[in-house]
Amino acid sequence: MTPLAARSITSIMSWRPQAAFVLAAGLGTRMRPLTDRVPKPLVPLAGRPLLDHVLDRIGAAGIPRVVVNVHYMAAMIETHLRARVQPAVAISDERRELLDTGGGAVRALPLLGEGAFMIHNCDTVWIEDDVRNLESLCNAFDAGSMDGLLLMADRGSSLGYDGRGDFNLAPDGRLQRRPAEAAAPWAFAGVSIASPRLFRGAPAGPFSLNLLWDRAIAEGRLFGLPLRGLWMHVGDPEALRLAEQRIASHGGP
């Protein structure tokens, strides 16, 4: 039986990470001119900042604490977050140096506790109906066999994504990189669960999580879980416009 299949049978909404790391420190250059005035996490989508969409969904999944990293227009994000009650929010300050996804996670580790935790981008949203994707991701995670579990979107049916895909997904849920000159059916949907084991020997300073993911792939310990619903990558003003249209037609995310 595959690790994901075994986990789906034995898990009944039981395990939840005690913390999530939300990536909110980026410069948001592709979202200009909107990000000339506000940081990307505070750009409104359907009347609410992108960051609030993310935090509300994390809270609804039963994750009690969130660490948010800040760099660009950091004070605006900090001021906005003071009004949050649930989940509880702590700040990982990257004002002096933007650390990229991997370096940012390493900086935040002391605030995230000892167990596995969720990592969530600020520009990823989706429309779901009967399936709660964050709950499914938590239920499928198995620290014994996984260093990371990534939420994967079908690139052909996604909105705001024009890439060639990121990964191939094996029948047992293990991930393999897309070959350089080929396309792949699955795009990383911007959410993952990371084991502390993923960060062993991680370098200092700025680096991408891709560095650690590649090592986990080589060890057979990086897995993917398909997202159920419509994934929307809100990376630029046009993608924002399309996402608002789709959310309005659906009646909400």
Neighbours of 16 (CB within 10 A): 18
d(CA 64, CA 168): 32
Asked if residue 36 has pLDDT above 50, the reply is: yes
pLDDT band at 162 (very low <50, low <70, confident <90, very high): confident
Sorted by where each starts, the structural domains of the chain and their CATH numbers stand as: 3-250 (3.90.550.10)
Q: Per residue in 103-160, pLDDT tens? A: 999 999 999 999 999 999 999 999 998 889 999 999 999 999 999 999 999 998 998 8
d(CA 112, CA 126): 25
d(CA 221, CA 204): 23
Residue 199: DSSP 8-state:
G
Q: Crossing angle, helix 3-10 and helix 133-140, to 10 degrees? A: 110
Q: What is the pTM of this model?
A: 0.91
